[in-house]
Amino acid sequence: MDNSFIDLGISPLILKALEEMGFEEPTEVQSRAIPHILNGEDLIVMSKTGSGKTAVFGVPMLQLTDCAASEPQGLILTPTRELAVQIDNDIKKYSKHLRHKTTAVYGQHSMSLEVQNLVKGTSIVTGTPGRVYDHIQQGTLKTKGIRFLVLDEADRMLDMGFLDQVVKIIKYIPKERVTLLFSATMPPEMHRICRSYMKNPVTIEIESPTMTVDTIRQVYYRVNFNEKNTQLNRLLLLERPASCIVFCNTRSAVDRVQIFLSRKGYSCQSLHGDIPQAKRLKTIQQFKQGGFPLLVATDVAARGIHVDSLSLVVNYDVPMDRDNYVHRIGRTGRAGNEGRAVSLVTSEDIMSLYEIEEHIGVMIAEEDLPSDAVLNEQKAQSEEWFKSVSQRTGAVTHSYSEKSMKKNHRKTSRPASASNTEGVKSKPSYEKHKQPAGKISTAKAEGSRPSNTGKNAYTALPAQSGIDSRAASGKVIRSRTVSTKGHKEAAVQTSQVRSAKARNTYDTAKKPLLNRILQRLFGK
């Protein structure tokens, strides 16, 4: 296996761009696949997410296409708009020192602008099947010069019902071409596509005992459904991520969680299919640039978000599709970086989690919910982190106290209907709790309450500034609150204390589902 891009035969100008992007050596899939594409062979690549597949087809296509041609020579089909934009941006970076023109076409985007870009001339077109087919039908996308066809995340296109459109598009493309298919799985329909429209394809499957990369630490917490918001807040205070994606199964759940976090004072945005495309792309760009630390999203909307520095993924809802779990946590642990994936699991979700474990070949470790003692120990760091994430986009820093957190929780714990979640503006909590200087304020802390999750019970939220430790007993505590401007928080420290060690230390090799359940109940 070649262990450098020079050994793969990449041209110097593309090598220069790769070096500027921080590429040091090719991944396994890049080393094995790129030589076949440079030789003009059809290729089927089965590889897990985060393995560098975009460069596999992007780099050879740039090297083998003529930048002076007036019509497209490469066509890349993707399941989602966001992924189309991401791939187009990556290919633009690879071709930084070349004269190639590339463009992306997708739904909810200006058709006239896309036509202008196509008329001006473009080497490589990336797009969703529906919009690509529209351009072909209207004659604005010329296909007679296409020499490379890429079907990226083909299994996802199949799941989303794009198979018929993909077949129609293929019939417009010259038979003398190189066809590249990338898919995490190979359902029967994919085999039919390969037999019908590919010429003696070479199959490259990256062998791995698991479907997820080793740099991702996967854990889960047992929670009650009506305590998900509370536990999400406590989890964020414990993890203190630089950037994080919170995944929900439905658009209405995304709206509810985003409103909850905003009212808590976090700088966060939502991403789902009901949001206009232009706003979605702007949100993704701001998130990738560090404009805000928390993104709440559905599965489809988050496809194509590649942030190498993403440190945490939270499954607020356990995904209904096992492959979606792989794609979700694949947003973190990219490019060799370490990542952490945490799932909030209710009693109704536990069997789905076991099925996911069987599917990915990994035993997901269960951890204790963060206790009051742990959160109190991390209080200074959490306050400083909370202040930084609430101010990142100019938001007002909310009072980090048990009283304000309790009132905010009361306002947001009741699920909001889908009809009234749009357009809700968050109000700074400190405005409702601010006291005149020197006045006496009364704060009744939330008493201890069991979480009804068995051994994973928790008591009250951690005691905060100005709240006596006796608040845990539910007594009314009187304390003097003095209004000051520009108060300073404690300095941030980098060390973190986890809530508990993982209780499960099973081998990560695949085991029958029944054996896994028995092991959880009775041990090895």
Q: pTM here?
A: 0.56
Amino acid at 69: A
Lowest mean pLDDT among 231-235, 257-261, 296-300, 472-476: 472-476
For residue 18, what are its two tokens? 């790769």
Residues 258, 404, single domain; the answer is yes
* Count of helix runs (H) and strand runs (E) in the chain: 19, 16
Q: Is residue 348 in some structural domain?
A: yes
Task: Give percent of the chain above pLDDT 90.
Answer: 40
Segment 203-207 mean pLDDT: 83
What pLDDT score does 458 carry? 40
Residues 103, 193, single domain; the answer is yes
DSSP per position, 10-59: --HHHHHHHHHTT--S--HHHHHHHHHHHTT--EEEE--TTS-HHHHHHH
Segment 90-108 mean pLDDT: 92
Residues 274, 190, single domain; the answer is no
Residues 340, 268, single domain; the answer is yes
Q: Which residues fall within 8 angstroms of residue 252, CB to CB, at 6 or more apart?
A: 416, 417, 418, 421
Residues 153, 26, single domain; the answer is yes
For residue 372, what are the domain limits? 216-480
By three-state DSSP, how is residue 74 classified? strand
Average pLDDT across the chain, whole number: 77
Q: Is residue 82 in some structural domain?
A: yes
Q: pLDDT tens for residues 297-321?
A: 998 766 667 777 788 999 999 998 8
* pLDDT value at 74 more than 50: yes
Q: How sure is the predictor about 186, in pLDDT bands with cuts at 50, 70 and 90?
A: confident
Q: Is residue 263 in some structural domain?
A: yes
Q: Is residue 500 in some structural domain?
A: no
What pLDDT score does 213 carry? 64
Residues 261, 117, single domain; the answer is no
Q: Which residues fall within 8 angstroms of residue 423, CB to CB, at 6 or more apart?
A: none
Segment 345-356 mean pLDDT: 91
Q: pLDDT tens for residues 8-60?
A: 989 999 999 999 988 888 988 899 999 999 999 999 998 766 667 899 999 99
Amino acid at 443: A
Residues 372, 438, single domain; the answer is yes
Q: Is residue 473 in some structural domain?
A: yes
- Output the domain CATH number for residue 248: 3.40.50.300
Using DSSP bridges, classify how beta strands 312-315 and 339-345 pair: parallel, antiparallel or unpaired.
parallel
Q: Is residue 1 in some structural domain?
A: no
Residues 298, 388, single domain; the answer is yes
Q: Is residue 130 in some structural domain?
A: yes
Segment 377-385 mean pLDDT: 82
Task: Give percent of the chain above pLDDT 70.
Answer: 71
What pLDDT score does 447 carry? 41
Q: Which helix (H) or strand (E) holds 229?
A: helix 228-239
What pLDDT score does 445 carry? 39
Q: Is residue 345 in some structural domain?
A: yes
DSSP 151: E
Classify burial at 58, counting beta carbons within 10 Å of its beta carbon; exposed 0-12, middle 13-18, buried 19 or more: buried
Lowest mean pLDDT among 132-146, 238-252, 293-307, 397-411: 397-411
Q: How sure is the predictor about 219, in pLDDT bands with cuts at 50, 70 and 90?
A: very high
Cα(463)–Cα(446) distance, integer angstroms = 10
How many domains would you assign to the chain?
2
Pick the closest to residue 110 from 134, 92, 93 (CA basis).
134
